[in-house]
Structure 1
Amino acid sequence: MENISYYDFMDRLIRKDRILYKSKLHRSKRKLKKKQKKNKKMDFSKPGVVNRLVDRVLKYNNSQLPDNLETTLNHILKEVFVMPSLSMGILGDPNKFNTAGDGTCMPTNASPYGKKVCNCKLKPGEHCDCPRLFSDLTASWGWDSYNEQYYYGHTFHGFTACDSFYSLPIHIKCVTAERHNSVTGVYALKELVDLYPEINFYSDILTYKTKKKYYVK
């Protein structure tokens, strides 16, 4: 029997994820100075992007799940936890399955300024536009509407079985902080449906805005 260590397991998990092999050098993104409104997400840089994404999903409905680490983790979540829980009847009716989706802020401890690696000779207070070394490649500035402040990091998005007494998770997704929740919701919902062909999804409650719920059938 082959002995597989923890490191062998991690190598198998991450070997397909291209983002881990991207260059860590890029230009820094400055924090926005304009303060957003309370309970409001960051404004769209491209109006109408959600409608275009929905049209694209409907047009290319037979597209496959992305081949990355996140998809692998969702497959593990499905096979080890979700499907056994579904067979036990604690997630709801698989023929009329109801889910709820929402996102939450995930600040990172990585520096938003990066590390200077160029040979530019600068005076105190001066800055150059050369690429800098960043330890967190996908982190960006986002707006925390609850605490009314900008944060540097990511947004964690999750779908749960809302008919379950325990609100158990069935799909997870982590994106850069600058992405709007409604954009992430389109991608995540498409992945959710493709991940679970055994389940007939009836409705999805998208709690992306305070005190409001959106039903999508």
Structure 2
Amino acid sequence: MLSHLQTHAEYVQLSQAAWKAIPIDFQRPYQTTFDLFQYLNFDPIHSLIQPLYATTGRPALYQIESLRALILSVSLKIPFPQLSQQLKLHRPFWTIAGFPDASSVPSLGSFYHLMQRYCPVKESKVIVSPPKKLNVKLGTDKKLPSRKKQATQQVIDHLKRHSDKPHFVSGPEKTLQRLFDILAVQQSKAIGLLANQLIASGDGTCIPSHATPYVRKSCHCSNPNKKSCPHEGILTDPNARWGYDSSKGTYFYGYTGYF
């Protein structure tokens, strides 16, 4: 059940009043961040996130504030598990996020539930064998060969066959894409940062995972040869794979995103 959603007018009034009460020395390192978040208006997405919640049950509190806190962790380049602790300790952080006080900051588990609500990805931590690191040595600006032949042509053919349908409407990231469209693209276009005639382009990027690529055993057998152990292992990030970052000329463990 969804409780009251903080409006942008309420956020501006609350945050500006609380910001004035913070000593100047504590304001100064985060003044630019505070000013930027004054223009981040979440009012247009209220109707989008309301269907994501049930109509009964315990009310979900401070949902807009929590979403703003996640964006704040990206802006400050602080992992949100660390930021969730610092939100309760540093007054500038909870003020920028829009929380009225430190006691209103949710627990770390609430942030995970919020992320799962916006991007409901289901994955298992059990895997038979760890992903293998390639032995090919490449230099800078050298790319690995495609594992699938004509992979690009297959994507083009698929888009042509379904050109009359919206793409990615059923993926777990669909809500995040709509949030980005409403909060960033449409508002940037409305204030003149983007031209009316746009040319969309995409590019790939390497996204390293902080998880370990090593498998933790799920059994208690005394088999000395781990490679021949018939039991499954556990990976903390089972979807991550080894890749090659051609711009840095090094291998990485994680994902290859295309935006």
Q: TM-score, normalised by structure 1?
A: 0.60
* Counterpart residue number, 1:79: 182
Aligned to 1:119: 220
Aligned with 1:98: secondary structure? coil
The CA distance in 1 between the partners of 2:150 and 2:110, in whole Å, is 44
Could you tell me whether the CA contact under 8 Å between 1:14 and 1:69 is conserved in 2? Answer: no
What is the DSSP-based 3-state SS (H/G/I as helix, E as strand, rest coil) of the residue aligned with 1:105?
strand
2:257 and 2:242 map into 1 onto residues whose CA distance is: 14
Query: Conserved in 2, the CA contact under 8 Å of 1:18 and 1:68?
Result: no
Contact 1:25 1:131 in 2 (8 A): yes
Give the aligned partner of residue 128 of structure 1. 228
Amino acid at match of 1:128: S
Contact persistence 2:126–2:234 (CA under 8 A) = yes
2: distance between equivalents of 1:86 and 1:137? 38
1:107 counterpart = 2:208: yes
The match for 1:2 is 3
- SS across alignment from 1:38: coil
Q: Which residue of 2 aligns with 1:140?
A: 241
Distance 2:193 2:147 in 1: 41
Rounded Cα–Cα distance in structure 2 between residues aligned with 1:66 and 1:113:
34
1:44 aligns with 2:45: no
Question: Residue 97 and residue 41 in structure 1: after superposition, are their counterparts in 2 closer, same or farther (change >3 A)?
Answer: same
For residue 157 of structure 2, what is the amino acid of its counterpart? D
3-state SS of 1:19 partner? coil
Q: Deviations over 1:95-128 (max 9, x none)?
A: x2123422222212211012111233232x7423
Q: C-alpha distance in 2, partners of 1:89/1:63?
A: 26
Amino acid at match of 1:148: G
Asked whether the equivalents of residues 17 and 67 of structure 1 are also in contact (C-alpha less than 8 Å), the reply is no
Do residues 53 (structure 1) and 155 (structure 2) align? yes
Instruction: Measure the CA separation in 2 of the matches of 1:66 and 1:142.
Output: 28
Local SS of the residue matching 2:255: strand
Q: How many residues align?
A: 154
* One-letter amino acid of the structure 2 residue matched with residue 76 of structure 1: L
Structure 1 or 2: larger helix share? 2
Is the CA contact (8 Å cut-off) linking 1:142 and 1:151 kept in structure 2? Answer: yes
Maintained 8 Å contact 1:25/1:134 = yes
> Kindly tell me: are residues 108 and 145 of structure 1, through their superposed partners in 2, closer, same or farther at Cα, counting changes over 3 Å?
same
> Gapped runs of 5+ residues in structure 2?
5-60, 67-108
Deviation at 1:82, TM superposition (A): 1.5
Structure 1 contact 102–157 (Cα < 8 Å) conserved = yes
Aligned to 1:84, the other structure's residue is in SS state: helix
Residue 67 (structure 1) aligns with: 170
User: CA–CA distance in 2 between the matches of 1:102 and 1:91?
Assistant: 19
Query: Percent identity, aligned pairs only?
Result: 26
Which residue identity lines up with residue 192 of structure 2 in the other structure? G
Distance 1:16 1:88, change over 3 A: closer
Superposed CA RMSD: 2.7
Letter in 2 for 1:72: T
Aligned twin of 1:33: 135
Q: Higher relative CO (CA 8 A, sep ≥ 6), structure 1 or 2?
A: 1
Check whether the contact 1:13–1:69 (CA below 8 A) recurs between aligned residues.
Answer: no
CA distance in 2 between counterparts of 1:57 and 1:46 reads 18
Greater share of strand residues, 1 or 2? 1
Answer whether contact 2:241 2:254 (CA < 8 A) is retained: yes
Letter of the structure 2 residue corresponding to residue 144 of structure 1: D
| Ranges in structure 1 where 5+ consecutive residues have no aligned partner | 159-217
Q: How far off is 1:59 after superposition?
A: 0.4
For the Cα contact (< 8 Å) 1:28–1:131, is it kept in 2? no
Alignment CA distance shift 1:138-1:36 (3 Å) = same
- Give the C-alpha shift of residue 69 in structure 1: 4.2
Shift of the 19–64 alpha-carbon distance from structure 1 to 2, 3 Å rule, reads same
